Amino acid sequence: MCACVTQHLGADSQSTLGIHLAQPPKDVSKAYHDAGHRLAEAIPVGAYHLTNLQWKALSICWFKGEAKFTEAWHTIGLAVQEAYELGFHKSRPLKAPQDIEGQIGRRAWRVLYCWNWQLSSILGRPFILNDIDSEPELPDLKSTPPTPTLHTKLQYQLISSLAKRWQTPQNINSPSKVQDYKRMVGDHILSLPAVFALRDPDTSKDNEWPWVVTHRYYIQTMAYFMILQPYKAYLLDPSTDLSLHEIQQLRAEAVECSLTTLQTATQWASRVSQGDGQFHLVVLCLFDTAAFLTMCLQKDQYNLPQKEEVVLAVNKATSTLKRLRSISRGAQSSYGLLYGGGPETNERIQAHQRISKSQEETLLRWVLRQESLGYALSHSQLRACVEAILKQQSDNKPLGKHWTTRFVKRHLELSTELGKLQEAARFDGFTPKAVNWSFDIRENEYGWIKPENTVNVDEGGIMVGFGLDSLVIGSSDPKKKAMLKGVQSRTWTSFIEAVTATGRSLKPGIIFKGKELQKQWLLNEFELIADWHYISSPNGWTDNHIALEWLKDVYLPQTEPRDASDARLIILDGHGSHAQDEWMATCFLNNIYCCYLPTQCSHGLQPLDNGIFNVIKAAYRKELQNLASLTDSTPVDKVNFIRAYAKAREAGMRKEIILSGWRFTGNWPINRHKALTHPEIQPNKEKLLEQFQTTKHSFTALR
């Protein structure tokens, strides 16, 4: 008993019990078990007693807890011999309360019978108990109130009925017998008491009877696990012809049952405690079922039903065993056999994954980091990232319809994050609340990215005409475009500018209005003036194609880190073109993170909007005055525009002005106070409402 108690004894349990072990609990447990065996050897042969039967039953528990199932099976044989000699194999009258020893022995017999059937079925060993004495007038257990031993009675009731039909698990050796076996277990499941029901169980007494929760998982998991055993033995037999339709149907049922078993076993693993006497069964179900599915993959990897679900379930079971291995030798050895101890098994599983394990882990880290920056990826964006990986590998097969859903299920930390609306969009003004939210991220999540790899990008625009009053430079937000129009307005030309936190400007992208760039625009003089990136759009504004072209052709080559492992950061507004699927996929492939500024805050938090664009605007006005006739009626006007804007950029893109913009907004060096004292910051709406209520109250009092 001491061996079983200390087998999975954690630090918290030691503290609760008021004991402090000098050695690890696993070593202490083994020492207790070895001592028990030495004491048992001193018992004379033929001296049968209930106490001997009890210690053998506990020894079986200990062996199963250590995943030593062969040793457990041999000990069952010794315990059965002891029980036979004591007469516990015979049924007893229900009304014999004075025979306490007989009742205890009979319960031990039921447990031995269940263990014998289970291990014989799982290990393919001969069945030790070939005869069974039925319980007289078995009560209706479905209506029986739950007791701590009810789950054992239910298990015994099922196994005894199976034994009467087939004597041993090995006799269930044909498709028709497997189907009959499944129906018997299925009928038993339907007859379970409400507290153990597979669907909508009665949980009203869970707080009053805490043990019933674990027993519920035991009953449910073992029911599916038992259904699976004859399928497993038959399908893995080398003589079984998998091409037969009847066998294919059996295999489909076995896969479905295996997936359900792993699902319930995983749920059980999340609730079972270290010291629980059935802890080993969780490990057994996870390992044995996952191993069966892995062997099915090996035997017929191309035609296995629900192949992707199988790979997902095996990976999840392996992860669960990995988590449990620190508290269980059984889980440790099972994990080693399933994963660490059998690399060929892992290779078979990975062979069915579209991307490698390391690629998946990289993607997971990037997705979680991107979410921490206030923007959680949608399923379509995640899919685009994976398809980009596959494209690099020359894998052009379409990604499975449910791949992203399964990816989320594999990684529980994503279950509540993926697809969440952009958090930055919940602010409606440049307020202290929005600034504090932004700097919580700036300080905690990506302050580690080097300043030379940190870039602010923004789009602006210039509308040129005959008079200075028609000249505007500022945000490219289409909502603000209406106020730029005037009687002397002419062509709107947009530009994409980017600056690093170390004071360097990137090559700008110039967007002319038009369907395509006219050849006569690209004169030698034009190229000599400014070697920039030129593109056109129908309305002179950026779109998905232009944004992506800028990212690939301008940003990537000009910001390549010295250390290839360094991450890059782009601070930008939440324009739709900056969050399209292919944009996010390109960022992922190049280890780039996007920090989207809160809505209506970009003018206060972007370095480009604070000083840099103002200087360019003033300089451009000056250059415009120096041009005698700047019109958009001839191609040379584009050259004049480039000449004027190039001069303006020389003035506005000086290193000291760029650094000033970063300092003024508090983006580098990171300084929250700078942003909170910005001259254009507005009070929080809550504060305004409070002030309004106070004013209203004062006015009412005056009246």
Residue 317 is predicted with a pLDDT of 85
Inter-residue contact 132 to 122 (CB < 8 Å): no
407 within 8 A of 378, measured Cβ to Cβ: no
Would you say residue 135 has pLDDT above 70?
no
Report the mean per-residue pLDDT for the chain: 77
Closest to 424 measured CA to CA, from 412, 443, 414, 439:
439
Cα(604)–Cα(601) distance, integer angstroms: 5
Please report the pLDDT score of residue 14 as a whole number. Answer: 55
For residue 288, being part of any structural domain is answered with no
Phi, psi (deg, nearest 5) at residue 131: -130, 155
Residue 527 is predicted with a pLDDT of: 64
Pair 617, 644 in one domain: yes
Which pLDDT value is given to residue 420? 42
Whether residue 669 lies inside any domain: the answer is yes
- The interaxial angle of helices 612-626 and 655-664, nearest 10 deg, is 140
- Say if residue 649 is in the same domain as residue 545: yes
Asked if the structure places residue 584 within a domain, the reply is no
Q: Are 182 and 253 in contact (CB under 8 A)?
A: yes
pLDDT for res 141 = 59
Q: What average pLDDT does this structure show over 331-338? A: 76
* CA–CA separation, 290 and 255 (whole Å): 11
Contact 256, 309 (CB under 8 A): no
Region 405-410: what's the mean pLDDT? 76
pLDDT at 18 over 60: no
Mean pLDDT of the 596-602 span: 83
Instruction: Report pLDDT for 9.
Output: 62
Same domain for 406 and 502, yes or no, is: no
Statement: residue 560 has pLDDT above 90: yes
Does 510 lie in the same domain as 364?
no
Q: Please state, in angstroms and rounded to a whole number, the distance separating the CA atoms of residues 581 and 585.
A: 6
List pLDDT tens digits, range 225-261: 888 888 887 787 777 787 888 888 888 999 999 999 8
pLDDT tens digit sequence for 379-398: 889 999 999 999 988 888 88
pLDDT, tens digit, 9 for 90 and up, residues 21-67: 666 666 777 888 888 888 877 787 777 788 888 888 888 877 877 76
**Residue 98 domain-assigned (yes or no):** no
Counted domains in the chain: 2
Do 633 and 513 share a domain, yes or no? Answer: yes
Instruction: Classify strands 472-475 and 492-500 as parallel, antiparallel or unpaired.
Output: unpaired
How many whole angstroms separate alpha carbon 228 and alpha carbon 223?
9
Q: Do 538 and 651 share a domain, yes or no?
A: yes
For residues 345-353, average pLDDT: 51
User: Alpha-carbon distance 234 to 174, whole Å?
Assistant: 7
Note down the domain range covering 556.
Answer: 428-563+600-676
Name 144's Cβ contacts closer than 8 Å, sequence gap at least 6: 150, 193
Across the range 649-656, mean pLDDT stands at 95
Length of the chain as a residue count: 703
In a domain, 337, yes or no: no
Domain finish residue from 387, 414, 441: 414
pLDDT score, position 699: 40
Residue 13: pLDDT band by 50, 70, 90 thresholds? low
Mean pLDDT, residues 8-29 taken together? 62
Name beta bridge partners: 596: 572
Residue 468 lies in a domain: yes
Last residue of a domain, one of 347, 379, 414: 414
Which of 164-178, 611-625, 649-663 shows the lowest mean pLDDT across its residues? 164-178
Residue tagged 């103002």 (tokens)? 614
Asked if the model's pLDDT at residue 525 lies above 80, the reply is no
pLDDT at 158: 82
Do 410 and 437 have their domain in common? Answer: no
One domain, residues 521 and 545: yes
Closest CA to 267 of 412, 153, 149: 412
The yes-or-no verdict on residue 465 having pLDDT over 80 is: no
- Name the pLDDT band for 408 (thresholds 50, 70, 90): confident
Give the pLDDT of residue 579: 81
Domain presence at residue 322: no
508: left (phi over 0), alpha (psi -120 to 50) or beta: beta
Q: Residue 500: its pLDDT value, please?
A: 97
Is 449's pLDDT higher than 50?
yes
Picking from 390, 414, 438, the residue at the C-terminal end of a domain is: 414
Residues 510 and 487 grouped into a single domain: yes
Looking at the fold, whether 469 and 553 belong to one and the same domain comes out as: yes
Query: Pairing between strand 454-463 and 568-572?
Result: parallel
Asked whether residue 534 falls in the same domain as residue 654, the answer is yes
Here the tokens at position 261 are 């078993």
Residue 98, pLDDT score: 62
Structure tokens that stand for 606 in this block: 């972007």
Tokens coding 521: 């625009």
- Which candidate, 382, 373, 366, places its Cα nearest to that of 418? 382
Please write the tens of the pLDDT for every residue from 214-223. 888 888 888 8
Residue 277: pLDDT band by 50, 70, 90 thresholds? low
Residue 372 has pLDDT above 60, yes or no: yes
Choice between 5 and 538, residue whose per-residue pLDDT is larger: 538
**Over 50: is that where the pLDDT of 364 sits?**
yes
CA 251 to chain centre: 29
Its pTM surpasses 0.75: no
User: Does residue 472 belong to any structural domain of this protein?
Assistant: yes
Same domain for 402 and 511, yes or no, is no
